[in-house]
């Protein structure tokens, strides 16, 4: 199994903006990624904080690294990112402090 992880640090009170972007609504039916061969599931996690910056983690599980790479190179995925470009670059909302991502092979 392969897991793609993204972690956003956002300013206080803004974790819901990240969640809204990725949270699935049942009435919308399966998303493009959910229909992709090798997709196993996705979880959104929010770190509880009393005040200050907040963290949101998204974990996307795949059968294999090859399945994830096929999604990354797919026309549907590329088109989705191109639609969000502004002047050739993705816009960076002011509430995002930082973003990290990485891929992990599940060993046990």
Burial 49-65 (b: 16+ CB within 10 A, else e): eeeebbbbebebbbeeb
Q: What are the extents of the domains in the chain?
A: 2-105
Q: Residue 15 and residue 53: Cα distance in Å, rounded?
A: 9
Of residues 100, 101, 97, 103, the one with CA closest to residue 17 = 97
What pLDDT is recorded for position 90? 66
- Label residue 89 by pLDDT band (50, 70, 90): low
Q: Is the domain covering 2-105 a CATH 1.10.645.10 domain?
A: no
**3-state SS, residue 1:** coil
Q: For 41-77, write each residue's pLDDT tens digit.
A: 999 999 988 899 999 999 999 999 999 999 999 998 8
Q: Model pTM?
A: 0.83
Q: Check if the beta carbon of residue 2 is closer than 8 Å to that of residue 105.
A: yes
What pLDDT is recorded for position 53? 95
């Amino acid at each position: 199994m392969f897991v793609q992880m993204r972690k956003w640090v956002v300013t206080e009170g803004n974790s819901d903006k990240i969640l809204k972007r990725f949270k699935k609504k049942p009435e919308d039916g399966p998303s493009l990624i959910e229909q992709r061969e090798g997709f196993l599931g996705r979880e959104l996690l929010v770190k509880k904080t009393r005040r200050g910056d907040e963290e949101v983690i998204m974990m996307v599980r795949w059968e294999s690294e090859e399945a994830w790479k096929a999604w990354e190179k797919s026309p549907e995925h590329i088109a989705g990112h191109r639609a969000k470009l502004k002047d050739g670059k993705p816009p960076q909302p002011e509430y995002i402090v930082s973003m990290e991502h990485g891929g992990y092979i599940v060993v046990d």
